[in-house]
Amino acid sequence: MVSVSPSLPLHFRRVNFTAPITVRASSSVKEIEKNTHDKDSLRSELYSSVPFPSIKAAKRVVLVRHGQSSWNAEGRIQGSSDFSVLTKKGEAQAETSRQMLIDDSFDVCFSSPLNRSKRTAEIIWGSRDKEIITDSDLREIDLYSFQGLLKHEGMAKFGSAFRQWQVDAPNFNIDGHYPVRELWARARNCWNVILSHPSRCVLVVAHNAVNQALVATAIGLGTEYFRILLQSNCGVSVLDFTPITEGEPPFICLNRLNQTPSSPVATSAGRKTSKRIILVCHGNTEASYDDSGEKPMNMLGNIQSQKTAELLLDLNISTIISSPTNACVETATAIARVQEAADCLGADCVPRYVERKKLEDLDVKDILQQSNKDTSGAPAFEADFLNRFEDETLLALWDKSGRAWKSLLNELSDESEAEKTIVVVGHSTIHIAAMVHCLNLTKEWMGSFHLDAGSISVLDFPDGPAGKGVIRCINYTAHLGRWSIPITRSTVDDGEF
């Protein structure tokens, strides 16, 4: 039987070398099946007891969902059926993804065997010589009798079962199967195959639900997180696996989630929402290391903030809340100016008003500076930046981020506005902590996420601020164009990614 810690939502192992590292892993298929007989739902603990295979070198895995399919366009339930094909829009999305990844030195491509995914993989893979490997475990979720039905047909034919699929998917049962539980077990099998392959940079082209399961099982989340980590058509997600000690499971970090071919605030994936928080990391500053945002932005930072302002141009932003540090205030000002001028097309126009606020609990400079660790050689946006600090510093950051998160939810709860989008500008560490709070996780997960300068992350609240938050994207940087961090970096002569 799987042992469960009563105080934490998953087991974690600390490895003492140069920094405190949190390692997460998932359980085997047999253990998952054994636990499903006696439990109504699978929770994160079941995916954290048996470690992933050890690796000898750093490995980056890039997940891509297939482009729009004919059944996507029709609103049919696809599941693992293989009757739909890419639409013209889907082909164009795949081509955009090909251009996005064209300079990346992938060693291997794994693909679902289903046509919509395999065709997307062929377009992205292009003229690369190596063969695409298909794996049946990468097929979309098996939905049995639901497959092929329009949504209203599913409701009419299956009634309460269809309703459970919508509101309680982890416990949804059809034809004697629990599809989401089976999917999580398959995803765990996929990671064994992918991590055992002798490659450094891996492309995986699959589907919405299975990519969600791959991301979730990698960072130790159970089936209750189904539909929480969105995957749009041709959305790109990146996971980094870093070896620690020989024979030990790797350190795992979600580098980005759902970088889409189109704007992340305009995509249609997921449920509609009237409440949204957009986390904006301030642009590059004059400080190269230990950048807490206190220094003003440099020229690159100003470009990044302007690009972010343009990306958010068509949103009706209610409030911009920033840390009081210089770089954050500068970034917030750039976004507000573009927002206020958005509707001014004539001489007699009335500028849009955007409320601006400063929140002291978003300021982390004192916490980062009080650390006894030497981080002088660590850029603030490196993937393992948080893991360089001692527990006391991380706890202080976690406590402060908790206060900030409550303030943001209170701001979003204003009932005077039916629709409300707030933009929050701060340091990457406070945004990472905010996402962990949004997912209702503990501080041990803070090392599992990464953000770059100038990036945005989007959190939706389809059931309001009191309900579950849904992550639309993490570390979106496509709007930065030539100034963005590439999706992947060349693996040639690189010890790490």
Query: Residue 448 has which token pair?
Result: 């599992």
State the CB neighbour count (10 A cutoff) for residue 486. 11
> Residue 267: what are its φ and ψ, rounded to 5°?
-75, 155
Q: Is residue 140 flagged as an active site residue? A: yes
Residue 376 zone, left/alpha/beta (φ > 0; ψ -120 to 50; rest)? alpha
Check: CB of residue 254 under 8 Å from CB of residue 229: no
CA 98, 301, 60 angle in degrees (round to 5)?
A: 35
CB 277 within 8 A of CB 422: yes
66 is catalytic: yes
- Cα–Cα distance between 263 and 113 in angstroms, integer? 29
Which one, of 362, 378, 352, lies nearest residue 327 by Cα?
Answer: 362
DSSP bridge partners of 9: none
Which of the residues 11, 66, 282, 479 is marked catalytic? 66
Report yes or no: 491 and 435 within 8 Å, Cβ to Cβ: no
Residue closest to 116 by CA, chosen among 166, 61, 73: 73
The tokens for 143 are 């939905």
Q: Which of 140, 182, 224, 294 is catalytic?
A: 140
Coil, strand or helix at 116: helix
Q: Could you tell me which of 188, 254, 180, 257 has the C-alpha nearest to residue 223?
A: 180
Amino acid at 369: Q
For residues 369 and 383, give the distance between their C-alpha atoms in angstroms, rounded to a whole number.
Answer: 19
78, containing H or E segment: none
Rg (CA), the chain: 22
Q: How far apart are CA 158 and CA 236, in angstroms?
A: 34
Dist. CA 359–CA 320, nearest whole Å: 10
Q: What is the largest CA-CA distance in the chain?
A: 72
The catalytic residues are: 66, 140
